[in-house]
Amino acid sequence: MKKRLTSTIAIAMIFAAFTSCNNSGKTNGQSGALSSNVAEKVYVAPGEYDEFYAFISGGYSGNLTVYGLPSGRMFKEIPVFSQFPTSGYGYSEETKPMLNTSHGFIPWGDSHHPDISQTAGEIDGRFIFINENNTPRIAKIDLKTFETTEIIEVPNSAGNHSSSFVTENTEYVVAGTRFSVPIPQRDMPIKEYKGNFQGALSFISVAPETGNMDIKFQVLMPGFNYDLSHPGRGKSHGWFFFTTYNTEEASTLLEVNASQNDKDFIAAVNWKKIEEYVNNGGGTMMPADYAHNVYDEHTHTATSTMKKEVRVVNPSEVPGAVYFLPTPKSPHGCDVDPSGEYIVGNGKLSANLTVHSFTKMLAAIEGEKFDGEAYGIPILKFEDVLAGSVEQPGLGPLHTEFDGKGNAYTTFFISSEVVKWKLGTWEVIDRKPTYYSVGHLTIPGGNSGKPQGKYMFAMNKITKDRYLPTGPEMEHSAQLYDISGDKMELLLDFPTHGEPHYAAAMRADLIKERSQKIYDLEDNKHPYAAKSDDDTKVVRKGNEVHIYMTTIRSHFSPDNIEGIKLGDKVYFHVTNLEQDFDVPHGFAVLGQNTSELLIMPGQTKTSVWEPTKVGVWPFYCTDFCSALHQEMQGYIRVSAANANTPLIWSMGEDIE
């Protein structure tokens, strides 16, 4: 009896406790709603604009997506490393060269870390760079047109992961290798990895005016894994920092074998010193094989050039240029605060965050206080370079961003949260859960001397129950937080496309004002452009047939074509004569084995068609361009290979 009573009371107490909790929860919610209306904070009224652009990497989609903040609306998917049937990127004759590599044409890529160009340590919004991880490449996207205009392959690299971060004045976009490999590549036993494989850190120069990329030099480092990187800035401008793991140099079961050392390193590279050495003729030109693909806005055509050599520098050639900073347990994120003083290394398997001091690093170098060396590279003493550590802030730290107000924000994968902490005192100020298992986070202007604060968004790896279910495969979820106050406030949950490994974001105004509306038709230098209906023609060269075609609301010219034979290779060179903002035309022909084309005003694009069947086949505009869009169509007649059908074309008249 007594026992029963006790348990009854206990149960009653539990109920009471939870009920009162619910009540207090509600009260809390109401007062929260009164003091700050979360919905209002993310609401962008119809016709109004978002305050920030966010460029979110598409991961295994190979692309880059453009979002607005705070609304979380997606505006565009920019094709970068993957064929994109929506626009014909990578399918059209003009853009196929963009995906050329030393391994041939590659239709897919794994895009990772976008970074916006900078001037004097501030985001300038001219270009955005992004790395391809699988077949190492760096792409440049012009933020005037939001088109990929250049892709350079990175030789001697494999798993292009500690990329593509830019220096303070966009002197370089830097690409470090995750996997070390034999350099040069050769046929050798995998077991002989240790001491024989090397890791290349590539410094790709960016021409100030055009943004043209060129590999200035590669630093050939010991065979570790170079995981992430960030440039020094302000006082540390001229240095670049890379996290490493697998300093054990294991080639198998890395989850065990690369976790043996208590500490791995952050590699500090004085690139100014190496640049000077190279400018004076230092380094060695070694044979290499890599593609450099450039899109010309005037010809609307990309060209791919195979380059045959690259300049490499061994750290031992430039004493004082490279140092190792011991950092606990396989550090992943490598983030530098806006002042350039603090270098944060997040040990994936460590529960603490390690922060190094640039000033202390210089002093330690000056004092030559080394703790041995690795392959001739001096190792600094951990205690000498340590600024401080954030003790046990969460589980599985990955990446850190800064708000420019002395605070840092770090993601924790395992405990699924973002933790705000203070630079200098290392105290934890706030923590908020993410949904779920957060990878990267972004604050607008994050990788720069002047972060633009206000918002932070966390990009998660796991979605589970956040949205209406869509079967086993789901888009990843992101959460937007207001970081203007002491505490972070969760504002919005929005899906992202592909797998967002990092994002770059910035105030919208700079980009918005410069955004291009049309391509000037007069300036169109495409060799097959037809700038008016008078220029249209069909030309046979052996079994190649070139159709110089135009589009304007609401017809193709020509729209009746005869004289094509089986075995012909038919090139539809389609010029969009429109000079009106947002009036693209599309082109598709039945049985086209590539993709449609989407042609912007003033642009020329080409689709190749190799008909396999005799008949009369329709083509049409795929973009609902006008009130008479459904009338925008034509026919092309395909005859047998030995037929005598004459080559004729027309528009608006009977074929004679």
Q: For another protein, which is the closer residue by CB, 16 or 285? A: 16
Q: Cβ of residue 406: shortest distance to another protein, in angstroms?
A: 17
Residue 73 sits in the site that holds another protein (CB under 8 A)? no
Q: What is the C-alpha separation between 293 and 214, in angstroms, rounded?
A: 11
Instruction: State residue 208 phi and psi, 5-degree precision.
Output: -55, -40
SS (H, E, C) 553-622: CCEEECCEEEEEECCCEEEEEEEECCCCCCCCEEEEECCCCCCCEEECCCCEEEEEECCCCCEEEEEECC
Q: For another protein, which is the closer residue by CB, 203 or 421? A: 421
Candidate residues 8, 21, 276, 525; the one interacting with another protein per rule CB under 8 A: 21
Candidate residues 33, 120, 256, 647; the one interacting with another protein per rule CB under 8 A: 256
Residues 291-330 that bind another protein (CB under 8 A): 329
**For residue 558, is the peptide bond before it cis, meaning its omega torsion is within 30 degrees of 0?**
yes
Q: What is the C-alpha separation between 504 and 488, in angstroms, rounded?
A: 20
User: Rounded to whole angstroms, what are the CA distances from 196 to 60, 186, 190, 249, 251?
Assistant: 31, 11, 10, 10, 12
Q: For another protein, which is the closer residue by CB, 292 or 466? A: 466
In this structure, are residues 575 and 557 in contact, taking their beta carbons and an 8 Å threshold?
A: no
Residue 33 sits in the site that holds another protein (CB under 8 A)? no
Residues 366-405 that bind another protein (CB under 8 A): 392, 395-396
| CA–centroid distance for 366 within its chain | 38
Q: Cβ of residue 452: shortest distance to another protein, in angstroms?
A: 25
Binding mask 214-253 for another protein (x = CB under 8 A): ----------------------------------------
Candidate residues 435, 481, 571, 587; the one interacting with another protein per rule CB under 8 A: 435
Candidate residues 254, 462, 474, 643; the one interacting with another protein per rule CB under 8 A: 462
Amino acid found at 143? L
Q: For another protein, which is the closer residue by CB, 309 or 489? A: 489
Q: For another protein, which is the closer residue by CB, 311 or 431? A: 431
Residue 437 sits in the site that holds another protein (CB under 8 A)? yes
Q: For another protein, which is the closer residue by CB, 18 or 49? A: 18
Q: Cβ of residue 462: shortest distance to another protein, in angstroms?
A: 6
Q: For another protein, which is the closer residue by CB, 105 or 436? A: 436
Q: For another protein, which is the closer residue by CB, 18 or 624? A: 18
Q: Which helix (H) or strand (E) holds 364?
A: helix 358-366
Residue with tokens 């070139």: 546
Q: Which of these segments, 398-406, 432-440, 498-506, 541-549, binds another protein (CB under 8 A)?
A: 432-440
3 state DSSP class of 471:
coil
The neighbouring-strand residues paired with 198 are 181, 222
Q: For another protein, which is the closer residue by CB, 462 or 648? A: 462
Candidate residues 8, 31, 316, 612; the one interacting with another protein per rule CB under 8 A: 31
Q: Which of these segments, 66-74, 228-236, 334-342, 459-467, binds another protein (CB under 8 A)?
A: 459-467
Q: Which of these segments, 43-51, 398-406, 425-433, 585-593, binds another protein (CB under 8 A)?
A: 425-433
Candidate residues 207, 285, 414, 628; the one interacting with another protein per rule CB under 8 A: 414
User: Rounded to whole angstroms, what are the CA distances from 11 to 1, 163, 643?
Assistant: 15, 57, 92
Nearest to 557, CA basis, from 623, 645, 627, 653:
653
Nearest to 629, CA basis, from 552, 548, 521, 532:
552
Q: Which of these segments, 318-326, 409-417, 582-590, 604-612, binds another protein (CB under 8 A)?
A: 409-417
Residue 24 sits in the site that holds another protein (CB under 8 A)? yes
Helix intervals (H) in 260-305: 271-279
Binding mask 471-510 for another protein (x = CB under 8 A): ---------------xx-----------------------
Binding-site size, another protein (CB under 8 A): 45
Q: For another protein, which is the closer residue by CB, 292 or 461? A: 461
Residue 38 sits in the site that holds another protein (CB under 8 A)? no
Residue 351 sits in the site that holds another protein (CB under 8 A)? yes
Q: Cβ of residue 325: shortest distance to another protein, in angstroms?
A: 19
What lies within 8 Å, CB to CB, of 399 at 6+ separation is 228, 332, 333, 335, 346, 410, 411, 439, 440, 441, 502
3 state DSSP class of 312:
strand
Instruction: State residue 146 phi and psi, 5-degree precision.
Output: 60, 35
Query: What tokens does 418 get?
Result: 């973002």
Q: Cβ of residue 550: shortest distance to another protein, in angstroms?
A: 53
Residue 8 sits in the site that holds another protein (CB under 8 A)? no
Residue 433 sits in the site that holds another protein (CB under 8 A)? yes
Residue 652 sits in the site that holds another protein (CB under 8 A)? no
Candidate residues 428, 518, 608, 614; the one interacting with another protein per rule CB under 8 A: 428
Q: Which of these segments, 25-33, 128-136, 552-560, 619-627, binds another protein (CB under 8 A)?
A: 25-33
In this structure, are residues 572 and 547 in contact, taking their beta carbons and an 8 Å threshold?
A: yes
Residue 25 sits in the site that holds another protein (CB under 8 A)? yes
Q: Which helix (H) or strand (E) holds 59?
A: none
User: Rounded to whole angstroms, what are the CA distances from 211 to 56, 149, 186?
Assistant: 21, 10, 34
SS (H, E, C) 473-534: CCCEEEEEEECCCCCCEEEEEEEECCCCCCEEEEECHHHHHHCCCCCCHHHCCCCCCCCCHH
Q: For another protein, which is the closer residue by CB, 213 or 441? A: 441
Q: What is the C-alpha separation between 332 and 436, in angstroms, rounded?
A: 19
3 state DSSP class of 274:
helix
Q: Cβ of residue 427: shortest distance to another protein, in angstroms?
A: 10
What lies within 8 Å, CB to CB, of 570 at 6+ separation is 545, 547, 564, 608, 609, 610, 611, 636
Q: For another protein, which is the closer residue by CB, 73 or 487? A: 487
Q: Which of these segments, 10-18, 367-375, 578-586, 592-600, binds another protein (CB under 8 A)?
A: 10-18
Q: For another protein, which is the closer residue by CB, 464 or 525? A: 464
Strand order in the sheet with 64-69: 73-78, 64-69, 52-57, 503-507
Candidate residues 28, 210, 252, 470; the one interacting with another protein per rule CB under 8 A: 28
Instruction: State residue 530 phi and psi, 5-degree precision.
Output: -115, 110
Q: For another protein, which is the closer residue by CB, 379 or 428? A: 428
Q: Cβ of residue 251: shortest distance to another protein, in angstroms?
A: 16
> Would you tell me which residues interact with another protein (CB under 8 A)?
6-7, 10, 13-14, 17-18, 20-21, 24-25, 27-28, 31-32, 255-256, 259, 329, 348-352, 392, 395-396, 413-416, 428, 430-433, 435-437, 461-462, 464-465, 486-487
